[in-house]
Amino acid sequence: MSSNYRGRFAPSPTGPLHFGSLIAAVASFVDARHHGGEWLLRIEDVDTPRSVAGATKDIVATLTACGMPFDGEIVFQSRRNADYAAALTRLRRHGLAYACVCSRREIADSAVRGIEGPVYPGTCRNGIAEKTARAWRLDTRGARIGFEDAVQGHIEQHIEAAIGDFVLRRADDLFAYQLAVVVDDAAQGITDIVRGADLLDSTPRQIYLQQRLGLPTPRYLHVPIAVNAAGEKLSKQTRAAPVDSTQTLSALTAALRFLGQQPPACESIPALWQWAIAHWRREAIPRVCGLPSPWPDA
């Protein structure tokens, strides 16, 4: 792989980084540096009501304390609505997106259950007459996507059956994550996406959107997510503790071991990074999608 590699870490500013977030940051950072590439930081705050004041500052401070410098300026999704609107207009112009008037209750009453809840049955594909649109959806009829993940292997999804026609612009007029991330990855020239396996099911949708918009498809690598004793993904909702700035060396070492790497005892963060970047082995990353967190404060 050449130095044309460009990766990114894209957290949502819903709180400070916890151990689960740190694992994704470490994996994407080390993979980029190991391949002589760039590592960008994007704040995925397209869902503005969920953003927490001061969270971005906390995230940057934690990355700095962990010795993880990012390249270039931070990109904020909340400032890129014009680009998302332009992408939606392109899809509408080509008859690939359509207005939807259905409420969540109406969908639940008439849909089968898919991998993330009710599968939208395409009720509004043929038009909404004089009704006011609540949302905009992507037409997924016949969409079947397969791709090779660097850790998880071959992944294939029949999007229409598993997800249905998914939302691009929500009823509250906010753009959906799936559209925003595809537009941003293309705009930033991202070649490699390294992230948690909780987003594995989203990848076929994103590849399909890339194809519909005529955008390049990056390479993908999905690492296991850390779960707590109850088997829940570490998150703000499950009360995962923030990364302690006084224990960053221990937390980084634990994250690397979680990722299947075997770092020696290092006396400093620079020494740990030097070893990790030189000895990074993708093939050592566990293929399972979720593993118990080894970090006691997670």
Model confidence at 105, in pLDDT bands (50, 70, 90)?
Answer: confident
The DSSP secondary-structure symbol of 200 reads G
- pLDDT (0 to 100) of residue 223: 97
> Which amino acid, one-letter code, is at 90?
R
pLDDT digits (tens, 9 = 90+) for 152-166: 999 999 999 999 999
> Does residue 194 contact residue 188 with C-beta atoms inside 8 Å?
no
Burial of 258 from C-beta contacts in 10 A (0-12 / 13-18 / 19+): buried
- pLDDT (0 to 100) of residue 245: 85
> Does residue 192 contact residue 218 with C-beta atoms inside 8 Å?
yes
Nearest to residue 269, comparing CAs of 22, 12, 8? 22
- pLDDT (0 to 100) of residue 290: 84
* Structure-block tokens of residue 281: 């082995």
Mean pLDDT taken over the chain:
93
- pLDDT (0 to 100) of residue 295: 74
- pLDDT (0 to 100) of residue 128: 80
- pLDDT (0 to 100) of residue 1: 44
- For residue 134, pLDDT over 90 is answered with no
Q: What pTM did the predictor assign? A: 0.94
Topology at the third CATH level for domain 6-80+179-292: Rossmann fold (3.40.50)
6-80+179-292 and 94-145+153-175 share one fold: yes
How many whole angstroms separate alpha carbon 82 and alpha carbon 161? 31
How many whole angstroms separate alpha carbon 25 and alpha carbon 253? 13
> Which amino acid, one-letter code, is at 12?
S
Look at 65-69, 108-112, 200-204 and tell me which has the smallest mean pLDDT: 108-112
- pLDDT (0 to 100) of residue 164: 94
* DSSP H helices in 66-149: 81-93, 104-110
pLDDT digits (tens, 9 = 90+) for 17-41: 999 999 999 999 999 999 999 999 9
- pLDDT (0 to 100) of residue 240: 74
Domain locations in the chain?
6-80+179-292, 94-145+153-175
- pLDDT (0 to 100) of residue 268: 97
Query: Which CATH code, of 3.40.50.620, 2.60.120.200, 3.40.50.2300, 3.40.190.100, is assigned to 94-145+153-175?
Result: 3.40.50.620
pLDDT, mean of residues 199-207? 97
Burial of 154 from C-beta contacts in 10 A (0-12 / 13-18 / 19+): exposed
Nearest to residue 297, comparing CAs of 258, 251, 253? 251
- Burial readout 159-187 (b: 16 or more C-beta within 10 A, e: otherwise): bbebbbbbbbbeeeebbbbbbbbbbbbbe
Nearest to residue 209, comparing CAs of 133, 139, 118, 134? 139
pLDDT digits (tens, 9 = 90+) for 214-239: 999 999 999 999 988 777 787 767 67
Q: Higher confidence at residue 54 or residue 228? A: 54
* Structure-block tokens of residue 64: 């700095």
